[in-house]
Chain A
Amino acid sequence: MSDAPRYSAEHVLRYDYRRSLGPVLARFFTELRDQKILGTQAPDGRVFVPPVEYDPETGEALDELIEVGPAGTVTSWAWVHEPRAQHPFDRPFAWALIQLDGATTSLVHAVDADGPEAMKTGMRVKPRWSAERIGQIRDIECFEPEGA
C-alpha cells in the first residue's frame, strides 16, 4: 500500500469538432433551418428520418429526400427528473422516439411537457423551433404536445 499523498486533478477533454455533412445531411440541416424536416425515401416506400445516404438494412445508396411531419406520434419516451448539464433543458423534460407523419422510422428528440403524467406512447407532438436556427439538429428546440 502506498503512503504517498493523493494527487488528483481534473482532466478536461474539450474540442469543437467541425463535421462536414455530405449531400444528404447538408440538405437535411439546410431545410431544418427553414423549419422543414426531410426524410430519405427508399424505392419500396420506407421513409427514414433522420435521413440517411443508404439503406440501413442493405447498404444500398438512397438519394430521394421528401418532406415529413412536422408533427408526429410518440413511439416511446423517458422522463428526466433531474437533467444533466448536457441535456437541452435545465428543468424536467422527456426524451422521446417520435415517428413523424409520413416516416417509417422514429427520431430521437426532447419533448417539453408538464410532467410524466402528460406523456403517453401514441400521443401527438409537434416541433417547437429554435428562435436562432443555424442548421443543426437543435434547430428543433424540442417537440411539444399538439394543442399545447
Chain B
Amino acid sequence: MEVLIELLDGPLNVQTCTQWVTSPDAGGINVFIGTVRNVTKGKPVIKLEFEAYKQMAINEMHKIIKQAFERWPLKKALLHHRTGTLEIGEIPVIIAVSAAHRDAAFEACRFIIDTLKQTVPIWKKEFFEDGEVWVAAHP
C-alpha cells in the first residue's frame, strides 16, 4: 500500500502528485482537483481560508485511503490538502489514484473525495464583499 498524505501550507502541484502515483504496473490514473470557485449560491466569493485539526485530519485521511485500498485493487494513492488562505482558482485538494484498470481508479478517487468531505476535520471559511462565513456551520 503506497500512500502519500500531506496537509500543506503552500500551493499544491498537480504534476508532482500525478508523477508520484505513476507506476509501471498501473494503466490508469484518476485525479480529482478541487479549485476555488468565484461564486457560492450566486454570491461572489473573494477568497477562502482552510483550518485543519492537523493530527486528526491526517489520521482520518489515512483511514479513508486504507478503506479505498480494501475496496479496490489500487497501486498508489495520494492526498494533498491545503491549509491557509486561497485565492480564486487555487487548489484546496488534489487526490490521485493509480490502478491496473481505470474502473478502480475512478471509483476510488470518487470515494476518497466524497468521504473526505464528510469526515476529515478541516473547515472552510468563505470571504464575501460584506462578510465571512464558516461553510456548513449553520442549518
Decide if A and B are genuine partners.
no
Interface residue ranges, A against B (CB under 8 Å): none
Interface residue ranges, B against A (CB under 8 Å): none
